[in-house]
Amino acid sequence: MTSRLAAQLYPGSVPSPKCQMPGMRNGMSPWDHPAHASASRHDQTMTIAGPPSSPGTPAAEVEIDVSLVRNLLLRQHSDLAGETIVPVAAGWDNAMFRLGNRLAVRLPRRALAAALIRNEQRWLAELQGMLPVRIPVPVRIGVGEGTYPWAWSVVPWFDGETADLAPLTSDQAGNLGRFLAALHQPAPADAPINPYRGVPLAARADAVAARMASLASRTALIDEAIQAIWRRALAAPSDAAPTWIHGDLHPRNVLVEHGRIHAVLDWGDLARGDPATDLASVWMLLEDAGAREVAMRSCMSVSEGTWLRARGWAVFFAVVLLDTGLADDPRMARVAECTIRNLRAGP
């Protein structure tokens, strides 16, 4: 992170190198959104100019603890109930508990997330065979019972660190592009439709404009260069057929081991939609402009209009992550800052 940009985003703070930030291991979706408890002591004491407009991490609608998880396992998957259960994290949508050495339990913490976990349960096994990376296909499925009302999953545990903590090395650009090309295949007619991801950018324009206006009083990061990228994206033609999309492909949903893509996490937003939504990850995951060019070439047969829209989706993610991150999660805000820096640098 440059000193100038760090000063804009975190007045009075000491920037950390390469936009990395200390935090938790393994991927909870922070966009769905990381709890502020994942921030380090240094991050929690940063001074942020102005009041946050985002409400931050929403409260859980159901209390989820080790006792609840063990009781659900005892009643529905008793052979797993004797394993050690350790809380990992609670995001906006899900709580995650490590289960023994090889598994994890993933439970919605609010009603809005219940449909998302059902998407994972229905579709991930089918997507697995298409993709060149690991994904957390549920190995057991649970149902609501007693005081807990929603479906839940037992999924594989993947070691590693998320890409905001351990960035991909430049030689992974081709692998990223090939993953995107493998995923962006025609989806069946009954695939989920997500009203917030994979839609025309014009459908998100009012929300982005409101967030940009709010951010203007708190940071100089959303400058004319970023707004110009957004305007060009809004004007770009919608010239790509809908495909499968991940829908939430930011650095905290990409697991890295030894600099390589190890797994892609949190598929609750998967849908049939505009592949430009996921192509935004090129600017979110790769710090080197040359590597971004390699990734773009590896995606194959992507039109210039789609790449323009992809840059717009990168702006969208950056604006939402920045607004939410300034409320209660500096780690998210730094992901946004890195994305903005990469967009400015090109290609």
Of 315, 318, 296, 336, nearest in space to 229 by CA? 315
pLDDT (mean) for 2-18: 34
List strand residue ranges (DSSP E) for 19-129, in order. 85-90, 94-99, 103-108
Q: Are 15 and 6 in contact (CB under 8 A)?
A: yes
Gap between the Cα atoms of 3 and 182, Å rounded: 38
- Specify the CATH number for the domain of residue 220: 3.90.1200.10
DSSP 133-193: SB----SEEE--BTTB-S-EEEEE---SEETTTSPPPGGGHHHHHHHHHHH-SPPPTTS--
Residue 56, sorted as left (phi over 0), alpha (psi -120 to 50) or beta, turns out to be: left
Query: For all residues of the chain together, what is the average pLDDT?
Result: 86
Task: Note whether residue 237 is domain-resident.
Answer: yes
User: Is residue 11 in a domain?
Assistant: yes
pLDDT in tens, 299-345: 989 999 999 999 999 999 999 999 989 988 899 999 999 999 999 99
pLDDT bucket at 56, cuts 50 / 70 / 90: low
Burial class of residue 287 (count of CB atoms within 10 Å of its CB; 0-12, 13-18, 19+) = middle
- pLDDT for 245-298, tens place per residue? 999 999 999 999 999 999 999 999 999 999 999 999 999 999 999 999 999 999
Q: Which two tokens stand for residue 250?
A: 């930011």
Report the pLDDT value the prediction gives residue 237, as an integer from 0 to 100: 96
Beta strand ranges found along the chain (DSSP E): 85-90, 94-99, 103-108, 140-142, 152-156, 161-162, 243-245, 254-257, 260-264, 271-273
Number of domains in the chain: 1
Name, in order, each residue with C-beta under 8 angstroms of 110's C-beta and a sequence gap of 6 or more: 58, 60, 61, 62, 92, 93
- The phi and psi torsions of 164 (rounded to 5 degrees) equal -75, -20
Tokens of residue 24, six digits: 């938790």
Note whether residue 33 is domain-resident: no
| Digit-coded pLDDT (tens) for 205-237 | 999 999 999 999 999 999 999 999 999 999 999
Asked whether residue 316 is assigned to any structural domain, the reply reads yes
Amino acid letter, 219: T
Sheet holding 103-108, edge to edge: 85-90, 94-99, 103-108, 152-156, 140-142
Q: Is the dihedral of CA 19, 24, 25, 30 positive or negative?
A: negative
List residues bridging with 271 in a β-sheet: 245
Place of tokens 């975190």: 10
Provide the domain limits for residue 324: 3-28+161-345
160, 161, 162, 316, 319 from 202: Cα distances, Å: 37, 34, 31, 11, 15
Neighbour count for residue 229 (Cβ, 10 Å)? 20
Please check whether residue 57 lies inside any domain of the structure: no
Could you tell me what percent of the chain has a pLDDT over 90? 79
Closest CA to 279 of 225, 322, 236: 236
| 71 belongs to a structural domain | no
In a domain, 179, yes or no: yes
User: What digits encode the pLDDT tens for the residues 191-206?
Assistant: 999 999 999 999 999 9
- Taking the C-alpha atoms of residue 343 and residue 98, their distance in angstroms, rounded to an integer, is 36
The secondary structure of 29-50 as a DSSP string is -SSS---GGGS-HHHHT---SS
Q: Is residue 256 part of a domain?
A: yes
Beta bridge partners, 273, equal 243
